[in-house]
Amino acid sequence: MDELTFDKENRERIQAVENSFGPSGSPLSKMGRVLVGEGQLIKQGRRKPEPKAFFLFNDVLVYGSVILNGRWYKKQKIIPLEAIQLEDMEDGALTNQWLIRTPRKSFFVSAPTYEEKRSWMEHIQDCRARHLQGSGRQPGSNFAVSWIPDRASYKCMRCLNKFTATNRRHHCRKCGFLVCNVCSKQREVIDHIHPKKQQRVCALCHIRSQGGMSRQRESRGRGKNSLEVDELMASSDEEPVTHSHQPSSWLDSRSGTWGPVDYYDYSPARRATS
């Protein structure tokens, strides 16, 4: 494919994504940036799973809430690829799911099919590896924990008191557990989430950060609690989220067209011979 033609079409695609977020979105056009793929995934939110539009570029991952499918989105999030870590997960509350870790927020996403899950994970990891190699940047090392969904527990995961209209749910920013206000009065600065703003932490995590527990006991405790959480989530009777699905599309390296096939080899060597 002619390089000038590709560059023109790539700019138009990126501009279309930028326009779809409206005035509240950040600019996405940037020298050397390539839109590699796009599609709709289910993201596990605090209260319930929700469909989100995802756009994979050669240096960032962008997602947002769907207002009008394929045309209008909001709540734009931009994550540099060097700050992403993926973890494959077995089916649980969501099918075909995996975990996206970032310094400020980590969350579960799921694809409609196993093939699309593998395609997304492989494309993200490949783009990340190329980006790290080409930019010379270092991969992230500190990542936020994933929050336990509100529906996963009807009681505080520390004191076991039931949640009510007055005894509300909160999340510890260190362990991600659902806790009541009494069990989460402490605040701490967690640098990789926000270097200046104090975050809510549960009493147990606060004690641990003060050196009150050994690493070994912490590991055993978290493993046991994680198993309990998985059982709670698996037993949830909430209906799964469904939505009309169009396969995620990738830029085909052979023809420069979009489809659920391959993605464009955007390396300078490849483009020079196109």
Pick the range with the lowest mean pLDDT from 54-63, 65-74, 244-253: 244-253
- Domains 3-142+244-272 and 150-234 equal at CATH topology level: no
CATH class of 3-142+244-272: mainly beta
Q: Amino acid identity, residue 50? A: E
Per-residue model confidence (pLDDT) at position 208: 86
β-bridge pairing 60-68 and 107-110: unpaired
What CATH superfamily classification does 150-234 receive?
Zinc/RING finger domain, C3HC4 (zinc finger) (3.30.40.10)
Pick the range with the lowest mean pLDDT from 93-107, 138-152, 226-240: 226-240
pLDDT at 159 over 70: yes
Q: Could you read off the pLDDT of 205-228 as tens digits, one per residue?
A: 988 887 754 454 544 555 444 444
pLDDT at 4 over 50: yes
- Domain coordinates in residue numbering, the chain: 3-142+244-272, 150-234
Q: Which residue has the higher pLDDT, 136 or 235?
A: 136
Per-residue model confidence (pLDDT) at position 12: 95
Please give the DSSP secondary-structure letter assigned to residue 26.
P
65 within 8 A of 52, measured Cβ to Cβ: yes
Long-range contacts, 30-36 (Cβ 8 Å, 24+): 30/59, 32/58, 32/59, 33/57, 33/58, 33/59, 33/60, 34/10, 34/58, 34/264, 34/266, 35/10, 35/251, 36/123, 36/127, 36/250, 36/251, 36/263, 36/264, 36/266
